[in-house]
Amino acid sequence: MTAGIRLAIPSDLQAILDIYNEAVLNSTATFDTEPRTMEVQKEWARQFDGPFVLLVAQRAGQVVGWGCLHPFGGKPGYRFTAEDSVYVRSDQRGSGTGRLLLAALVESGRENGLRTIIARIAGDNPASVRLHEAAGFQHVGREREVGQKFNRWLDVVVMQMMLRE
């Protein structure tokens, strides 16, 4: 069964938090090292407005993944650029959920007037690199040993998709 993609609603925050915290504890998909609390999660969710979206993938009534376009750079001149994040529940990885979420994020970025989307991917996450390549993102750089997690230094692969030329 294919996952359905929709805008997240407040009642999705617990499932989003559970998926994220599993990644915090068991992967280098995020450089966070401590699980988030619901209080922090609610504050984080406030950034999704205008061109910045928070989407969920739902299958059989359950949230099985989420993705977002969030502000890039923090300065007004970056307002037409977003950074993406995609997380899929561990038992759903490889199901095509990430592909559906990323496609929906790209479409949302186009519809909302963004010019470009940046992906910053831990260098030891080849599945995410392949996902972004398949969606049309281009490699634009590598930040060497900028993160440390699980007592390892990690590179970040930077990828980009131009939505408008």
Write the CB contacts of 11 (distance below 8 Å, at least 6 apart in sequence): none
Global pTM?
0.94
Specify the pLDDT at position 1.
53
pLDDT in tens, 9-66: 999 999 999 999 999 999 999 999 999 999 999 999 999 988 999 999 999 999 999 9
Please state, in angstroms and rounded to a whole number, the distance separating the CA atoms of residues 154 and 30: 11
Structural tokens at position 141: 């750089």
Look at the alpha carbons of 117, 164, 136, 141 in this order and tell me if their dihedral is positive or negative.
Answer: negative
Coil, strand or helix at 23: helix
Specify the pLDDT at position 94.
87
What domains, with CATH codes, occur in the chain?
4-119 (3.40.630.30)
Nearest residue to 138 (alpha-carbon basis) of 118, 153, 108 = 118
pLDDT in tens, 77-105: 999 999 999 999 999 988 899 999 999 99
